[in-house]
Structures are given as structure tokens and as C-alpha cells.
Amino acid sequence: MPKINENKLRLYGFNNLTKSLSFNIYDICYTKTEEDRKRYIEYIDEQYNSERLTKILKNVTESIGASVLNIAKQDYDPQGASVTLLISEEEVPLYVLDPSCNRGVLTPTRENIVGHLDKSHVTVHTYPESHPENNISTFRVDIDVSTCGTISPLKALNYLIGSFDSDIITIDYRVRGFTRDIEGNKHYIDHKISSIQDYIASTTIDRYSLIDMNIYQSNIFHTKMKIKDIDLDNYLFEISEEDLCEEEKREIFEQLNQEMTEIFYGININNSN
């Protein structure tokens, strides 16, 4: 995969570019009964609670070469969680940090915390939900990684994909602003990129169908990914494939595939047509 900043620019001042990665994954599951749907959401809430999500975001921060300044996290009722990390491009000595910063080591003494994201940051939000009629449950995770300077969130892409069971993935990457070289010329991007796929492992690409929509002149890149093979046992909650007759298998497969297709293309499919 290409390396970011292969030919480092000689800059006048510091790097003013802002690089933003928006990463959305969808995990699809067949939940046969109302009780199954309830247990599925409870399971997801436990698997991806704010503590585990914080650990994932800390690993993201480390993988892109940044340091954690502050952490805010919350689990929600009835379901879902959010975590926000304020990060720095370089390690910041403890004596320089604002005393209100919480790096996940000490419990803040205040009940409410407001983080001013004036530097780079990483956020995650989860959205478990279920279809009211067709027994399909969907778990969505939204992760945003925004950095300034030389570090890039693209370095965390493969780690993020591997951290979740991802049936559908949508990725947006954008570089904003400009930086100047020592001769005064503006540079609106500091690394070569033709597609987000340039930074995804080939073994991952082989497992997905992918579509790109890019606006090169504005340094905007978009990639959508849909899993190619549906192994039914991986999508059944509280039941196994051997418990089903052939007709049930076919119906469940069609429901799962329709849900994935609708999310991938952003449309609703009317089965009556």
C-alpha cells in the first residue's frame, strides 16, 4: 500500500492541512423472534460498550502516531454508546496539559464534561436497531477521525475494518485547507491518493464488492463496500443453519441480501414490483 508523505514537503511554518476520515460500518443479523431482537441489542451493547470503544479509539490514535489528550465517553439507555478523544500530533508532557483533561486514567470529578475540539479528534457512535417486520437487526458504528498536520487517519483504516464484523462499509476521506512550502506555494494535499482503496489491504478488498465516487479537484474520496459471500451461520442469532429447512434458509438469505443491498445503494427495494 502507498505510504503517506513519501516525499515530505519542506514547509514554511507548520502543516495546516486537515484530513478527515468518516468510517461507517453495518453488521446485519437475522433475529427470529422479538425476544431474540431484544437479546441481540443487549449483546451488541455489551460487546461494544463505551469501555471497549475507548480501547479501539486509543489504538486508532496510536496507529496514526498521535497522543490522547482527553477522553469523554457515555453509554446510553436503552442502547448505544459514544466516545470522543481529543488528540495531539505529538506527545504532550503531563505538566503542559490543561488540568481538566481526562486521559482515561482518572475519573473526572465533574458530572458533565465539555470537550473543545480545537485540535485533532476521534469520535465513535453506535446505533443498534431492528426491522419491525422482517426479523432483521442492524448494528451501525460511525467513527470520525480528524487530524491536522502530517499525520493521516488513513493509517488506521485496516485496523478499523478488522475491529468490527463489517457487512457494509462506507468510507469518506477529505483533505481541507492548504499549507505552504518554503517558496510560498500553496499545497492542498501532501500525499498521493487516487482512491481510498489504495490504503485497504488486498485481502480485505478480495472479500468485498467496492464502488468509488471521487471528486479529485476537491480532494474528496468516497468508497462503499459490500461483503461478497453470505455464510448463513454467521448471520443467525440464537439458531444455527442446521435448524432450518431449505425454504427457511432461502427466505432468510433473501432478507439479509435485500437489507445489505438497500444499505449499500441507499434505496428501498419494493418486493411487490
- Catalytically active residues are 120, 125, 148
DSSP string, 11-44: BSSS---EEEEEEEEEEEEE--SHHHHHHHHHHH
Q: Phi/psi class of residue 267: alpha, beta or left (left: φ > 0; alpha: ψ in -120 to 50)?
A: beta
Sheet with 136-148, side-by-side order of all strands? 67-75, 81-88, 120-130, 136-148, 18-30, 168-176, 220-227, 208-212
Closest CA to 30 of 117, 138, 106, 150: 138
| Strand blocks (E) in the chain | 18-30, 67-75, 81-88, 120-130, 136-148, 168-176, 179-180, 186-187, 208-212, 220-227
Distance CA 167, CA 28 (A): 7
Distance CA 137, CA 25 (A): 14
Task: Give the dihedral sign, CA 4/9/15/20.
Answer: negative
Question: Do 142 and 124 touch, CB atoms closer than 8 A?
Answer: yes
Closest CA to 164 of 189, 138, 190, 182: 138
